[in-house]
Structure 1
């Protein structure tokens, strides 16, 4: 459940045209475009333009991205020039940001995260393993019953993490069509107006769930937050936390399952290794996370003082945009970075971020993938693309990379 950039989705904005696709979001299939690699391997930093016309600095090297994520004092997640472009007043902007962990620095970030951390420990996630296994098997049944060819995203990649996070958080799964459509709009960078509308709709929906939890707290995570921290969290903070967890909890993992399956089908030698040695799924998941880097631009940072990055002097109050797809393919970080090798594990990758904002749900995302990929390959040993000549339906204007559909047969 890698951390999702959200700042540019908040509030109204005067931007009306479809923006040019930023360099950090440009792909050539699975790979970042060559221009991004050239920046990383050359200057390391390039001046660019934010979606709101302000100057920004794109950070591409592994060590530089890691340094920025490690230092909340010099690189603030809370200070953002995007607020200046919002038509909302200061109080409304504060309400929209409340509870969104990636939008805060310590100590406020620490206060919020401390309330959630016990729910996402590896030990706690292991308790969910039997239920996740049931959910995976049920989705595989649905995929099989759909008949071949079938859309893997519709019948497997999206339902699995959606149902898991719904049960964990306390969201009615019957509402999945509504929140999945809304989530797609929240991540769609081509229309800030639609993003803003989706944010308002999402808050209204979550406000209803929070009100219900305040009245009758269940055994789910929202109920836990109300029972144990209800006096310490405002309603706006509960809404923000719930919105973040629901969005990140299903969008990122579903895109990893879909895109990861396509990557393995396109690399049959790597898929064969996992079939022959199921224990390889653990390093395979880490390598897929690194190689695909689906969160295309981590939450931006603003410099709090003059800094130097990759030999470039960057003044205080400058916007930094971080490029995980370039950083995770940095040859200074890992040998032969453009090759998918499921045996190496890719320890230290930045797919889940780094530092205090390292993805809270990483243990859950890892568990879902470690259960789902082997189960899929075991159920359908003949799994293949329905039409190997068909061009993959990649998402374009999305903060989280993935596929719109994936037709398979077996």
Structure 2
């Protein structure tokens, strides 16, 4: 048996854009490796594109908290196996996962995202105007990306944007490995309390939003269930999209050849978005699964009950799937990237996220032909460790 690596080792991102270097060696030598988790148990970590898709697409691997356990929370706490939380379907297996997901799928189809495109572009234009009013230099996170993404998510779900101070900070704290767990719990409780109030308001006065449509559906969810669904959508869809947009801009401003190519050929925007998703893999938290039975994988037997962690950033930098993967190339064939995951738990909101990323980049590049970093590249503050790779702020000028 090969020596097990530490759970902490694959978190050690040290460069602005590249995942931990340990994955290059692991993919070449042992893409299925033993790994020691923080509670001392030994499981596995997967680092190749082929094996990541194999694990995520195999129903013999569970994502249920009733069967497996979180190897560790974002704040370093150990979480044992526990009953599933009603509505928190990301940590459920079929048929429960299927029931919740089917209820929401219609809100996030390609067609629905296309219908929302004009509104997304309008909000992006309004945030460009807000940047101009603020004046240069400006923090792209606070003046553009964060309000754009949160406004759109709030409108879609049915949350009051004017009351965002009660829920805006909860996802950031949840994804921050340095956050105080007590602060995270308090922010979570504050957001939950508001969402319960909002759900009750929508029962009395429904609107054109996800909460109202779920309440009117044949699938009767309790207030607690729907509250947890809303929490999941907020935590999964807010900071991830905000970070993909801001880190994407950061990457383009650094890779000036790619930015020049995109400006000269705006029709390459769709490809640029997919390449940025692959190259950056901002959803860097290593997804985990638990084997429901003995599974033969890459010449090893993963025993029933074993934890298997897969690394999306490692898979998206696999040279066996993407030539010269460490290069940002907007002309690349990115088909098959796993930035949104794979299998039945693949990101529900990926179609909307793509529309937002395209609209955000198009608005910025169109409005600011001389957009540039307002500080040296090395001084942009990054969050290298945590579930979401992010810039803490991105000062830009024009």
TM-score (norm 1): 0.88
Q: Report deviation, 1:281.
A: 0.4
| Residues 60, 322 of structure 1: 8 Å contact kept | yes
* Equivalent residue for 1:55, pick from 42, 46, 49: 42
| Residues 61, 326 of structure 1: 8 Å contact kept | yes
Counterpart-to-counterpart distance in 2, 1:383 and 1:83: 41
| Residues 307, 315 of structure 1: 8 Å contact kept | yes
* Equivalent residue for 2:168, pick from 171, 180, 186: 180
Equivalent residue number for residue 75 of structure 2 = none
Secondary structure, counterpart of 1:405 in structure 2: coil
* Equivalent residue for 1:142, pick from 110, 123, 130: 130
Secondary structure, counterpart of 1:32 in structure 2: coil
Trace 1:6-405 onto structure 2 (pairs within 5 A): 21=8, 23-24=10-11, 26-72=13-59, 74-78=60-64, 79-82=67-70, 86=79, 93-94=83-84, 97-190=85-178, 191-229=180-218, 231=220, 233-405=221-393
Structure 1 stretch 25-34 or stretch 333-342: which is displaced more? 25-34
Secondary structure, counterpart of 1:308 in structure 2: strand
Counterpart-to-counterpart distance in 2, 1:187 and 1:279: 34
Over 3 Å counting, the alpha-carbon distance change for 1:197 and 1:59 in structure 2 is farther
Over 3 Å counting, the alpha-carbon distance change for 1:238 and 1:62 in structure 2 is same
Q: Report deviation, 1:352.
A: 0.6
Could you say what the CA RMSD is over the residues aligned between the two structures, in angstroms? 2.2
Q: Report deviation, 1:48.
A: 2.4
Over 3 Å counting, the alpha-carbon distance change for 1:41 and 1:180 in structure 2 is farther
Counterpart-to-counterpart distance in 2, 1:264 and 1:31: 14
The answer to which structure, 1 or 2, has the higher relative contact order (CA under 8 A, 6+ apart) is 1
Show structure 2 runs of 5+ residues with no match. 1-5, 73-77
Counterpart-to-counterpart distance in 1, 2:206 and 2:286: 33
Secondary structure, counterpart of 2:216 in structure 1: helix
Deviations 1:241-293 (A, max 9, x none): 11111222221110011000000000011011111111100011000000000
Equivalent residue number for residue 3 of structure 2 = none
Number of equivalenced pairs:
385
| Residues 285, 345 of structure 1: 8 Å contact kept | no
Q: Report deviation, 1:165.
A: 0.4
Show structure 1 runs of 5+ residues with no match. 1-18
